[in-house]
Structure 1
């Protein structure tokens, strides 16, 4: 005797599986996942292990959003930035008076990430056209008082249809519709 099936039983069976996300979709997901963690903005210099070092859990700045999102995809920007700086130190900013790379902090500085993404990734056009900014793009800004900032464009849209950004601007790892709130200084895509 056959069992009766629910009229909805075959709907799930007949649906095609969702296509697997590309690298940048996965990076977006990793950044969005970070917004679920409570993080206090903390620019303190920490001595951290190398490679795969991180500041204490629950602490961080804007660059730590980028570092942690890439780390979720098994890319260690601490190591990648350090190796490039060690081989090409003269190409990186000298604003901090360092005579050699420092694995504790170099990857946590926006200007260093800008140089790294330009050298090792793809530098994209800076425009005011929202459609030019794709999921997984890294964007840098100059905030008032000349404070550099960085965030990741993610697969969530604001009311105007523009992609939102995951960043930490002082109140934790947040999802905000802020792409054009400040002067954009860099636009990158990076995949190792």
Structure 2
């Protein structure tokens, strides 16, 4: 499995739009015998898989940089912002205000599930968090992220590829 070459392809072409990226992915699939893995023979399935992989790559890149920013800029607390994702339990976290050094963030810092587009905003104080739309009185739920996302692990491109294709590592 030539995952490094595929990751390079995504890094090189993701800023050129999804249509150009799909063209490059088709060529890659032919060259590396990934047609079944990417679902190239089924137009609808290929569109779904390529969009999923594109979103995963862009979101993982964004979140890696965002986490670095949050760690470098000392904040008093973070406000969880639920996105439009279909992820279980995320909507109930929307607006929760939690101290930046709280253990909650070990597993809850987004992305914490497939297709998660949630985010956090930092604030220097509880009143600042409230101005950002946070609810300091809202209790922290017993949220548990998907197993692959625990301990703030952003799944690899291999994980995403296997997830979207419905395959297991042994199948590839």
- Superposition TM-score, scaled by structure 2 size: 0.27
Higher relative contact order, chain-length normalized (CA < 8 Å, sep 6+): 1
Which structure: greater helix fraction? 2
Q: Which has the higher strand share?
A: 1
Q: TM-score, normalised by structure 1?
A: 0.25
Larger radius of gyration: 1
